[in-house]
Chain A
Amino acid sequence: MPTVYDLVVIGGGPAGLAAATQGASLRLSTLLLDEQTEVGGQIYRAVGSTPLRNPAIVGPEYQRGRELARDFAASGAEYRGGATVFDITPDRFIGYEREGTAHFVQARRIVLATGALERPFPIPGWTLPGVMTAGAAQILLKSAGVVPGRRTVLAGTGPLLYLLAAQLVRSGHPVQALLDTAEGANYVRALADLPRALKRASYLAKGLGLIRALRRAGVRHVTGVTDISAQGSDWITSVSYRCGPRKATLETDTLLLHQGVVPNIQLTQALRCEHRWDEAQLCWKPVTDLWGDTSVSGVAVAGDGSGIGGAIAAEHRGRISAIAAGWHLQRIDAAERDRMAAQSIKALGRELAIRPLLDRLYRPADRLRIPDGEATLVCRCEEVTMGDVRRSVELGCTGPNQLKAFVRAGMGPCQGRLCGLTVCEAIAKERNVAPAEVGYYRLRPPVKPIALGALAAMTPPEPEAELGQSDTNKKRAESVPATSLERIS
């Protein structure tokens, strides 16, 4: 098994699949490392193996995943599933764990395609069993053909929430209510984005169609919801909400929360890529150029990990980043690169045209990102409350990394995935400064847990510099184009 690849792609969703397929078509030796055991990432989860008798429940876009999977399988790129990346060194050695053993592989170019994760939704009771994300429900639907709960309530805002509601309705599953937290004023603010968004008018029409379908199915759509809380002891029993002056409580056994997705920045942070705070999308994202290249040499990001754009935009970004990798590796010149990428760049622009409208319409409300309640948990792992954060700032804590020392926020197993944004914005609000000034948790490998036994079982890789001339000839014979043996150090 070779230990050096021209291109290693991390992540098996649309960006990763498109990047790896493109890389292989440029005759780059290409490896795709996927934490899941089959391709598709989350948006196309289980697309090749779904037990759903009627996948149309999920929606027509889901089938795009099968096409991407088929193209990838035919591409000649190598697939390694069940591979959890825990480390990437500045020399581009990638450590991953697979079936209880750690491995390292080196890449001349890396494309990170680890996608997005759900924005935290810190409401009172959000840690109760029976409270899950909309994404969790979609994964259950796609991968197992099950829907959680019998008296399901959906809460929050964003296209994925409405899509989930439609999927549940199509599957014949009763949805008690959709507690919609989109702020009315957003609709007025969003008018400015409408002309640009009309480039993707079909997308808008689809959204309106979803909402009409919900109404026809008798799902209670409560708009203008401002406060939500979950009650229960060992499992959720009810959800309360406020809507204007009105307060109400619904009995429920499953509450599905969603207020958008945000880039997964765990690997880019651990690599010390430069990041910036995006005030429109209210999240941190790695700084990338139009090719997806980060501030770290040899590392590019494609897909939602570079900024939320959706599944089709992710494909285009994947292709663009792999074409750029081909140029960096001197397999194609700049003119060829520009020619090959032109169509994808244009298509990407069209896909992203609707984003400003969506970002504005579905901007999560301030108090649902930064909870008012003192007792509301901010860090689920270490059970740190909003009150703990406020008191820490009062005592002089200025940022998330200091906060770790004060109250251990961010030091639990999720490594800040569920509290990083809340903590950043909460400290910014308490200090009355911009989130960009507050910063983010310093993340260090391992980026996913790794057992000592797995490391002990590892065979260290051979550095390419030790390959002699005869080995280079062997590589040519294997029809992998010879590279100019650049020293990887």
Chain B
Amino acid sequence: MSVEFTLDGEPVMARVGDTVATALLVAGAGATRTTPVSGAPRAPYCMMGVCFECLVVIDGVADRQACMVKVRPGMQVRRQTGGAEL
């Protein structure tokens, strides 16, 4: 059973029950954020909510751990670039 979400506006298919991090890895999305300190590319590391590398924007809310959130239909995921802009 599949569910569709968008990554930076592009449609991506995922398996129902998969986390966003799993879906991004399976889809070959590559780096899922760049760091605030140096802009270095990062992607999920631990898959269990400990490393905080998999931070992405989900439905407009930043710094969501992709490995802790299950994909929902129509979910809008965006890669985070750098730090927050206030």
Contacts and interface: CB of A to CB of B under 8 A. Distances in A.
Interface of A: 35, 37, 42, 49, 51, 84, 117-118, 127-133, 135-136, 139-140, 143-144, 146, 148, 233-235, 264, 380-383, 412-414, 417-418, 448-449, 451
Q: 10 closest A-B pairs (Cβ-Cβ)?
A: A129-B43, A136-B47, A413-B52, A383-B37, A139-B47, A414-B52, A129-B31, A144-B22, A117-B50, A234-B41
B46 A133 contact: yes
Q: Which of A49, A127, A146 has the largest number of chain B CB atoms within 10 A? A: A127
Interface in B13-64: 15, 17-19, 22, 25-26, 30-32, 35, 37-38, 40-53, 55, 61, 63
Interface residues of B, number: 32
Contact of A129 (B15, B41, B48): B41
Given A132-B47, A148-B25, A383-B37, 18 more contacts: A35-B68, A42-B48, A51-B17, A117-B48, A127-B45, A128-B41, A129-B30, A129-B32, A132-B44, A132-B46, A133-B46, A135-B46, A136-B44, A136-B47, A143-B19, A144-B17, A144-B22, A383-B40
A413 B63 contact: yes
Contact of A132 (B31, B45, B49): B45
A382 B53 CA distance: 12
A130 B43 contact: yes
B72 interface: no
A135 B48 contact: yes
B50 A49 contact: no
Contacts of B53: 127, 380
28 contacts: A42-B48, A84-B68, A117-B46, A117-B50, A127-B42, A127-B53, A128-B41, A129-B30, A132-B45, A133-B46, A133-B47, A136-B48, A140-B22, A143-B17, A144-B15, A144-B17, A144-B18, A234-B31, A234-B41, A383-B38, A412-B52, A413-B55, A413-B63, A414-B51, A417-B51, A418-B51, A449-B63, A451-B61
A417 B43 CA distance: 17
B25 A49 contact: no
B32 to A, nearest CB: 8
Given A418-B51, A449-B63, A143 B45 contact: no
B52 A139 contact: no
A349 B12 CA distance: 50
Nearest to A148: B25
A132 B54 CA distance: 11
A383 B34 CA distance: 12
